[in-house]
Chain A
Amino acid sequence: MTDLAKNLHTEHMVINMGPSHPVTHGTVKFLVTLDGETIVDFDVEIGYLHRGFEKMCENSTWEQVFPYTDRLNYLSPIINNVGYALAVEKLIGIDTPERCKYVRVIVSELSRLADHLTNVAASGLELGAFTAFLYFVEARDLIWDLLESVCGARLTSNYVRIGGLKNDLPDGFKEQTKEVFKRCRELWIDVDKLLTKNRIFIDRLKDVCIMPPDEAIAWGFTGPCLRASGVPYDVRKAQPYLVYDQIDFEIPIGEKGDNFDRYLVRMEEINQSMRIVEQALDKLPDGPINVDMPEYRWQSKDDIYTKIESLIFHFKTVTGGIRVPQGEVYFPVEGANGEVGFYLVSDGSGKPYKCRVRPPCFPLTAAMPRMIKGALIADIVPTFDMIHMIGGECDR
């Protein structure tokens, strides 16, 4: 035996996987040490999409930050908008009108839907199930069409404002949503049939990269990945914001914490999100969507066009930025990937003194080496998909 080991000379192979590798999407690099097909060592290098978000925010007024937040998790930009707006509102201490809250819930859930659809679709694609990918991309596109009719853009929504929203839902939105959801459900059933019971797909995901609940908590997991480990933690339930406490929905949890659980949790969350949107649309009250506080929310155009005081004040708030009281605040919302938190410090000037984001996929990406060691090179694909690292959010 010793002779064999001595004579049969083997050595580890070190491979750079990415950033221009089909699975890393140009946003991350893995330094993989391979023993044949088995991963011996794994190193994640991030930072390819670093734009200096936090520093940029320090140099722009509170309102100007919104377009930047679109680019954090670019699959569900509105959730970032909502999170930032809620954090600032908490710092100021204002409450938005009821309708605004409902609309915020609706658009957040629609973006969560788009995010999960993309994620499941992309996982299917990267495991070779191209058809499932395109079915869900169709569903996602329909939802983006909906969002486009609300915000004016599919991806860079820039929809939420401090103390309100950019605009109200368009006419006939409820009927359109109903139609879109009908098609989404059809496609969901098709994809579910194509993947969930497919032995090949299950074999690829099951028992791969297991994360036990205590370890998941220790690593700082949130969102679907934490719930897949069996911990029923959801910011929407644990610290209800907006009107999530008035809406009936369930938190899907997994049992084992493997990739298959993560997939199932996401598939179920798609359903739950659709339920939330439908309920919110049913309960949607009439009324205004913006607070009437010219010092925090830009005034209505009617006032600006007609009243000189309003116009002067408008100039003041736009050029100087709104004066958010001194203090610091942390506000988490449930992003598509987990807890998106905004930690803001205000020094009373028109700009944030510090705007720190807690990206949900940073801890998840950090746990990649822990999960992947000992697995095969092909397991990188589903694990990285289920981690769902978004470069824009992770690197900021």
Chain B
Amino acid sequence: MSYKSNYIVGSIPLDKLKPKKVRKNIELTLWERLYIPEIVRGMYITTRHFIINMIGFVFPPEGKKRKIFTVYYPEEKLTIHVAYRGRPVLVQREDGKEKCVACGLCERICPALAISIVGGERENKERYPVTYTLDMSRCVYCGLCEEVCPHEAIVMSDEYIGLAEYDRKNMIYPKEKLLVPVARLKNRIEYVREIYGKANYMD
């Protein structure tokens, strides 16, 4: 049942397809049939890993705590890339008010229907969300709300801790729980400006 030429799909010549047989030299020699040499080789590999890792525990390589790449989670934390999409948060202006103008774009685009907004107006005719509810039990962290927001009002923070709850009711976040001061979100806001910036679009 070897390869036959009539199985070429379409009219692509073989040299363009570049098939590479992977089964060559796979028949076992008598030496390999004996089980033992291969077992010894396998044990050599695992033992090598064992010894290297043991040495790595005692004398960790420079700049790291240990040779293996495991992170002891609650005590140590990963350094998170700025691209990481954690819990979505509302940006809080320096004067303590939310930046959101309740335009409803995030509510519209959210694929999981997690956001619900009731808009209102302040005395100075400024629109603001009277309620802004984010159902964290529905949120899929896709980041589309951040992408469509025309006012830099909602961004994905780097928070990923403490999002699990025993009760679903606690997972419905009101506006107060979502607000994060703008100073803490500088990095992400800059990153968002950069990635959706004009430079990434064709002229």
Contacts and interface: CB of A to CB of B under 8 A. Distances in A.
The answer to whether A and B touch in the complex, with CB atoms under 8 Å apart, is yes
Interface of A: 60-61, 63-68, 70, 97, 131, 138, 141-142, 148-153, 156, 158, 164, 166-168, 170, 190, 193-194, 197-200, 202, 210, 212-214, 217, 229-234, 237-239, 248-257, 260-261, 264-265, 267-268, 287-292, 297-305, 311, 314-315, 318-319
A265 B22 contact: yes
Given A194-B45, A257-B1, A288-B202, A237 B23 contact: no
A230 B3 contact: yes
B3 A288 contact: no
A223 B9 CA distance: 13
Contacts of A217: 7
A233 B45 contact: no
Given A63-B144, A318-B148, A264 B23 contact: yes
Residue picked from B103, B143, B152, B193, most chain A C-beta under 10 Å: B143
Interface residues of B, number: 62
Given A148-B83, A290-B201, A302-B198, A158 B144 contact: yes
Given A168-B195, A230-B7, A300-B201, A305 B150 contact: yes
A67 B111 CA distance: 7
B2 A238 contact: no
Interface string B101-143: 0010100110110000000000000000000000000001111
A131 B18 CA distance: 33
Contact of B33 (A61, A158, A194, A199): A199
B3 A318 contact: no
B85 to A, nearest CB: 4
Contact of A152 (B42, B156, B196, B200): B156
Nearest to A66: B142
B202 A97 contact: yes
Interface of B: 1-4, 7-10, 12, 14, 16-23, 26, 28, 32-33, 35, 38-39, 41-42, 45-46, 49, 69, 81, 83-85, 103, 105, 108-109, 111-112, 140-144, 147-148, 150, 152, 156, 192-193, 195-203
Contacts, number: 204
Nearest to B109: A318
Contact of B8 (A141, A232, A267): A232
A251 B201 contact: no
A15 B37 CA distance: 39
Contacts of A194: 42, 45-46
B12 to A, nearest CB: 6
Nearest to B110: A64
A82 to B, nearest CB: 16
Contacts of B142: 66-67, 70, 156, 158
